[in-house]
Structure formats: structure tokens, C-alpha cells
Structure 1
Amino acid sequence: MNTETQPPSPRERFYRRERQSVPAARAFTREALAELAVRERAYDIVLCVSELATNALVHGVPPGRGFLLRLLPLPCGGVRVEVHDSGDGDPAVPQTRAREWDEGGRGLLLVSELADKWGVGERDPGKFVWCEFAW
């Protein structure tokens, strides 16, 4: 089999709706990036995973469900992050500025600033939020 024509294999893991899922997703991402020999922008990627996983748990994962984190190497160099959940809604960057003392409201703003691209895709049920980092 010619490995040069094979697409890079994704790294993925499913997380239940639990508080410890976000730090576990960050740890998994750091391990996967190390396995993929990703050094460039690793901090930004882990931060975006943290924000997207938190958003999935707070807004997108109904009780008894979970979310899927998928990391896909990009063929031209880079990484695509996807967080799949079964909730509804259409995530968007807030149009109003979060106040300094607000606990939330900055997650997608951070993702939009750190990632090269980001967006939302449909799935049945739910959605997935993705972002890409190229180098």
C-alpha cells in the first residue's frame, strides 16, 4: 500500500457530559499534537479545543450525551479541529462585547482570532464546530 496517497489519519475521542471532559480533551489534544510532531501553534490549538469543548458541554450536549473531538491533519500542513455535539443552535461570535466581569462570552471570539478559519456544520442530530490552523 502506498502511504503517500493515503490521507492523514484523524485522532478522535468521545467525551461524556462531565466537568472533567474539558481538561481531558486538552490533554488528549496535547498528546495527539505531540504524536503528529506539531509544534507550531500548539498552544493556540489546545486553547481553541478547550473553548469549543466547553461550549459543547455548556450549550450543545443534552443530559446523558457527550461530544466527539476530532483532530485531522491537513494535507498541506496544519490541523483541523472538530467538536461534534447533538445539541441545536447556531454558534456565532457575540456581536456585543463581553464585560470584564462576565464569566463567558469569549470562547468563539478567541477561536475566531486564533484560528485561520472556523465554522459550523450540520449533522443529525446536532452540529459540529470546526477550526483550522495552517502552517
Structure 2
Amino acid sequence: MTLTSEDIDADQVSRSWLLTARREDLARFRRLASLAMREWEQPPHVTELVLHGVTELLSNVARHVADPRCTLELSMAGEVVQVTVHDRSPVLPRITLPDWTAEEGRGLWLLREMADGLGFARTERGKQVWVRVRAGDPGL
């Protein structure tokens, strides 16, 4: 894992890491994200959703992408925190109503329902998948 950047400007802060997505390393990436949320003074409900996003997006790379090398990027612009994972597969995720009796297949659907935005797009080298979380009153 390599820290590729730590950008700070007046309107946005971001961190990104080049890594190999493996299930056994998810706790480490969650800790890195948690540290960033603490430094960016994010409330617990934002941190919780960001950590869920990190886990789900990296798990999907580990599970579904032949080449698990990817980039994890955390950014904050204004009151919006975004988790983005760039991987090397052009196959876009499909989000469908989950089978609640299955052992997997609900992660992106749940994340989409809890977050303020979830999206994906093909890139020149594969795809990017992102989750957006807005800081603010969690009761709204």
C-alpha cells in the first residue's frame, strides 16, 4: 500500500492510496479512513457510513475483479465526504433488490439506501465506484 497523495486546499481535502484489495486487509483501510474522518472532524454518523463504503467497495474489488490493484480515495469538499475506488475492471456493478436470504449481494443496495449518493462510471483503465455522505444533522 502506498499513500499516493494528501492534498489540501481551501475548498477540498483528499487522501488516496494505491493498494491491493484483499479481505484480510480491510481493517487496515478502515483504520486509515477513520483517522482521516477524525482529522476532518466528521461526526460519528458520517464516519460510520464512510467506513461502510470503504469496506463494501474494497470487498467488491477483492471478490469480483481479477486484478485487485486499485486506488482508494477519500475526499471532502464542503460538507460532502466521498469514498471512491478506482479498479481495473470495466464491468460496472449491478444494484438490484437483494435476496434477503442470501449470504451476500446486498452491500451496494444497502449502501445506496443509507448514503446521500452512490455512482459508478467506466474510465480509461477500468471503472470508478463512489459513495457520497453529507455531514449535517443525522435526524434529517
Which one-letter code corresponds to 1:59 in the other structure? Answer: H
Equivalent residue in structure 1 for 2:73, among 54, 70, 74: 70
Residue deviations 1:61-94, cap 9 Å, x none? x24x41211011022x120110110012111212
Structure 1 portions without partners, runs of 5+ = none
TM-score (norm 1): 0.83
Note if 1:91 corresponds to 2:93.
Answer: yes
Q: Mean Cα displacement is larger for which, 114-123 or 16-25? A: 16-25
Contact conserved, 1:13 with 1:68, CA < 8 A, in 2?
A: yes
Aligned residues: 126
CA RMSD of aligned residues (A): 1.7
Aligned counterparts of 1:14 and 1:125: Cα–Cα separation in 2? 14
Q: Which residue of 1 aligns with 2:48?
A: 43
Q: Is contact 1:15-1:21 (8 Å) kept?
A: no
Contact 2:21 2:58 (C-alpha < 8 Å) held by counterparts: no
Q: Match of 2:124?
A: 124
After superposition, what is the alpha-carbon deviation per residue over 1:80-114, rounded to whole angstroms, capped at 9, x for unaligned? 1101100121112124x3242x2210111111111
Deviating runs (4+, > 4 A) in structure 1? none
Structure 1 partner of 2:5:
none
The percentage of aligned residue pairs carrying the same residue is 25
Q: Distance in 1 between matches of 2:81 and 2:19?
A: 20
SS in 1 for 2:96: coil
Change (3 A) 1:81 1:89: same
1:134 to partner: Cα distance:
1.0
Give the corresponding residue for 1:20. 24
1:7 Cα deviation from its structure 2 partner: 3.0
Q: Secondary structure at the match of 1:51?
A: helix
